[in-house]
Amino acid sequence: MIRKAFVIHAKEGKIEEYIRHHNPIWPELKEQLQRHGVTNYSIFYREGSQQLFGYLEVEDEALFEKLAEQEVCRRWWLLMTSFLECENESSTKAKEEMLTEVFHLQ
């Protein structure tokens, strides 16, 4: 199992909308995440900030990378650009800062 973690930042005043869109996520997106080996996926909000922390586990990196080819995933990412900080105005996906694992207790 491969563990992945990232930080993303909500745009000012958009955190509530972001949270609302995740409760629940689109059923077809959930299905594609599971088909592409994603399990144990959580996103946490740091109260009083615009910061969000995501954690997920994937079975296989190559299978996971194919998730980006799915139309529902691209539509979701584009929607999320309304709520999250992006590299630039024409970005089709929010800016993710991938984190490096330094400790794991099994």
Residue positions annotated with a catalytic role? 22
DSSP label at residue 66: G
Among 76, 79, 64, CA closest to 33: 64
Can you tell me the distance from the alpha carbon of 88 to that of 43, in angstroms, rounded to the nearest whole number?
A: 23
